[in-house]
Amino acid sequence: MTWPDGPLDGGGLEVTGRDAWLGGPLAVDDLAVGAAGAALLAAADLAEARGLGRPAATLSAEHVAVSFTSERHARVRGEPAGAGFAPLSRMLRCAGGGWARTHGNYAHHAAALCRALGIAPDPAALEAAARERDAAELEEAIVAAGGCAAALRTEAQWAAHPAGAAVGRTALVEWLEGPAAPANPPPRAAVRRSRLAEGVRVLDLTRVIAGPVAGRTLAALGAEVLRIDPPALPELPQAHLDTGPGKRSALLDLAEAERREALLAGADVLLTGYRGGSLDRFLGARHPHLIRVSLSAWGAIGPWAGRRGFDSLVQVASGIAAACAAPDGTPGVLPAQALDHGTGHLMAAAALQALAARERGEGVRSARLSLARTAAELLGAPRAAAPARAPDPDRFRVAFGDVELIAPPGALDGVPLRWAHGPRPLGSDPPAWPHRGDD
């Protein structure tokens, strides 16, 4: 796996404890170490650009593997509190022997799924409806109703599909050049070496796992991250618990122009992770100072560019589920939601590299990433099937009062990455940047 500027696990990154911690037929452990390592190396670039010298980056492969399943290890008062799949999110046997997967974790997606198939919100009814439809027909019916589904495809079938072919024409990280460097760049802020992204403001307009992982990674490096959720569609509490540490959390309808524009004007980095094009009317091309790092499920070009999607669906459509199938042909899954976590770390790496470029006076750079392109990277990597060696999550826990989470992986000059605080209650902060003296 290769980052656009060189090997992800090279260039001064020390990795300890390499093993098949996640295992499986695909190189998921290499993806995990590579993506987390890319973020650490980009952080080292930013430190150097900010005049702090280049810190040594170290990474435990076991810690990375646990962090890629962090949502499974969240605890509140000692009890598991991790997010799982809702009853309507499942793999379905379809007419003609095909397979499809649905996603109904969010209430509005579950409602669209039921509307499309004319069923009650019941798993048995969903399975019965699927048996009466071809997998591709089921996929299209649910998507047309505003829901989320994907028919099972092999790698070859996905490569031949117009959406898969479009993804294949893109880079793992698509860099977009912005305005040239200002003639009189602002003076560098005083930064502590242990918090090398200090003073950087990140506006986090993402949901689920991938984008929020990017935000929590930047928060672990000292950035001020403000996550905004729409009041009508707040994040699932379990997901917020796992991806909220180190961030502020606010609710805001982006149609409130004055508050929205103030947030955009005050940010250095904008993370977006909604369906392609859905935020265009709010964000536009204003605020050319912003480093924009955008995430989509299926890429920014091609017939599926505006389609909703999740890690589990991309696994099914791209050929991963087929590559991980059981001997009887039942589609399989990755041992972690590695497309989400991996792409999240790559988003953080892109933001950090763009910040370093800005510090060096090279102008503004933005980036686009997608779960489907990360899937292509994983499928294209050398394979060596290996049974998983169970990691020990207790070695990597961090506590914030009653809440226990998996600490962020990695260290710079021997100092582990850390969050300044645990997850705040969803929507408990004002949708505004504090005055600099109040940060």
Q: What is the mean pLDDT of each run of 10 residues along the chain (439 residues)?
A: 48 91 95 97 95 94 97 94 86 96 93 95 95 96 96 97 96 84 52 84 95 97 96 86 96 91 94 71 78 95 93 97 95 96 98 95 92 97 86 96 97 96 95 74
CB atoms within 10 A of CB 184: 6
pLDDT of residue 241: 92
- pTM, rounded to two decimals: 0.94
Cβ contact 36:67 at 8 Å:
yes
Residue 2: both structure tokens together: 């290769």
The span from the CA of 430 to the CA of 424, in Å, is: 12
Strand partners, 365: 177
Domain-located, residue 217: yes
Per the rule left: phi > 0, alpha: psi between -120 and 50, beta: everything else, 302 is: left
Output 283-288 pairs: Cβ under 8 A, ≥24 positions apart.
Answer: 286/261, 288/178, 288/179, 288/364
pLDDT of residue 132: 95
Domain-located, residue 320: yes
pLDDT of residue 351: 97
Domain-located, residue 212: yes
Q: How far is CA 76 from the centre of its chain?
A: 23
Identity of the residue numbered 16: T
Strand partners, 14: 58
Identity of the residue numbered 60: S
Residue 183: both structure tokens together: 């003639």
The span from the CA of 352 to the CA of 291, in Å, is: 10
Beta strands in 274-320 (DSSP E): 291-296
- DSSP symbols for 243-256: H-TTEEEEE--TT-
Per the structure, the count of domains in the chain is: 1
What is the domain extent for residue 287?
Answer: 163-385+420-438
Domain-located, residue 86: no
pLDDT of residue 234: 78
Strands 415-416 and 411-412: antiparallel
Domain-located, residue 401: no
Domain-located, residue 104: no
Domain-located, residue 45: no
Identity of the residue numbered 411: A
User: For 386, which DSSP code?
Assistant: B
For residue 260, give the CATH number of its domain. Answer: 3.40.50.10540
Give helix 338-359 / helix 210-220 axis angle, nearest 10°.
50
Strand partners, 368: 174, 294
Domain-located, residue 370: yes
